[in-house]
Amino acid sequence: MRAMRETVTPIVLPHVIDPTLATAARRLVDDARRIVIFGHQHPDADALGSALGLAWALGALGKECVVAVPDPPDAVYASFLPGLDSVVTALEGDPFDLVIALDAGALSRYGDLTTRYASLLADVPILNIDHHLTTTGCGVVNIIDPRAAATAELLTLWLTQEQIPIDENAAKCLLAGIITDTRSFEFDSTTPLTMLVGAYLMERGARPVEVVKPMYRMKKYPSAKLFGLAISSLQSAIAGHLVWAAITPAMWEAAALPVGTGDEGIPSYLIDIEGAEIAICFRQTSLDEVRISVRTAGKYDATVITTQFGGGGHARAGGCRYQGTLAEAEAALLGAARAYLAE
């Protein structure tokens, strides 16, 4: 006998969006026939997944939807975002009735789309849906909530609140947005509601593995080779609180990769070693230049080290360049790290 029942109650998402805003947004959509959906510059999988998910959902209502972004999408998204090949970077044809701008609040984040195609977009209302803290919105109606982990989460909640059906293609696009903005539900931005929205989209046929594997697990053979070579240089000091590794031109050559390309995620890998508080990845790109990535845990701030060498970054991740040999760079950076750990 199996422990679990075969069926569960269908998931019902709560109506959490301000009803006035939700209805106003619905009215804009109802009044439009031809809709252009914008994703922001250098579109990530949340911008693209939200835009395509919405296009699938509104397309099924009989709306003519065009998804446009200022920069071409990265090819890695093609395997899990149905309809990615329909995304355009230039507009043509009849004027539009509505712009729906997704995953950024400021119009400038959509590149020059609005200025380049002013004739197609003259007097066209904008509906803005976004989850970034820093924005007040660029639309006549703005559904903005930084509590949402992804624009795709907010959009799913709006679609379900307005009883607009989400088919399998839409569900796949929307789940991709949520998974990539939360790194597989890992970041602190993930809430119980995020998980519930994810479950709702899975119920409609979306599968996390289709996104997680190409985004976070798949690597090319030369990249795996380089990773192994670099990790073979791993060293530690100060009871494991300081760890470091180096990538040399010979390693890139042995892995059949151009010298200086990529870091294969080694900086993040190093700081996940148990006990590590400061991790440094040295990448020797020529005989007299070394690029350095610093990662920190606990109370340590990476910029305390990188700014000593003219670099910058954030508390957890910083970088700098060192003019000199690898041995000189290691002596300088490890010296600074040891001094910091001794404070």
Bridge partners of 101? 38, 128
Q: Which listed residue (145, 181, 263, 330) binds Mn ion by CB under 5 A?
A: 181
Answer for the pair 125, 77: CB distance below 8 angstroms, yes or no: no
Per-residue tokens: 283: 């990448």
Query: What's the min distance (Å) between Cβ of 183 and Mn ion?
Result: 12
The least distance separating Mn ion from the CB of residue 241, rounded to whole angstroms, comes to: 35
The minimum distance between CB 153 and Mn ion, in angstroms, equals 9
| CB 317, min distance to Mn ion, A | 19
Contact letters for Mn ion, residues 125-154 (x by CB under 5 A): -------------------------xx---
The CB-of-238 to Mn ion minimum distance in angstroms stands at 38
146 vs 228 by CB, closer to Mn ion: 146
Query: Measured from the CB of residue 243, what is the shortest distance to Mn ion in angstroms?
Result: 32
- Quickly tell me which residue has 């790194």 as its tokens: 183
Which of 83, 103, 245, 295 is in the footprint of Mn ion by CB under 5 A?
Answer: 103
Range 236-295, binding Mn ion (CB under 5 A): none
The count of chain residues that interact with Mn ion, using the rule CB under 5 A, is 5
Please give the residues from 18 up to 37 whose contact with Mn ion meets the rule CB under 5 A.
none
Q: Does 330 bind Mn ion (CB under 5 A)?
A: no
Nearest to 50 by CA among 108, 112, 130: 130
Q: In the complex with Mn ion, which residue's Cβ is closer, 177 or 313?
A: 177
For Mn ion, the nearest residue by Cβ is 46
Measured between alpha carbons, how far is 223 from 255 in angstroms, rounded to an integer?
Answer: 7
Specify the DSSP class assigned to residue 12. -
Q: Is the dihedral of CA 26, 27, 32, 36 positive or negative?
A: negative
Which is closer to Mn ion, CB of 151 or CB of 303?
151
Helical H runs in the chain? 19-30, 45-59, 113-116, 118-121, 151-161, 168-181, 192-203, 208-212, 221-231, 249-254, 266-271, 302-306, 326-342
Q: Which stretch binds Mn ion (CB under 5 A): 175-183, 185-193, 249-257, 278-286?
A: 175-183
Q: Which of 22, 39, 46, 52 binds Mn ion (CB under 5 A)?
A: 46
CB of 103 to Mn ion, least distance (A): 5
Q: How far is the CB of 104 from Mn ion (least distance, A)?
A: 8
Contact 11, 203 (CB under 8 A): yes
C-alpha to C-alpha distances, 14 to 149, 181, 302, nearest whole angstrom: 16, 21, 41
Instruction: State which residue, 46 or 277, has the beta carbon closest to Mn ion.
Output: 46
| 3-class SS of residue 182 | coil
CA 265 distance to own-chain centroid = 15
Quick one: 69 or 246, whose CB is closer to Mn ion?
69
Residue 282, phi then psi, degrees to nearest 5: -100, 130
Residues in contact with Mn ion by CB under 5 A are: 46, 103, 150-151, 181
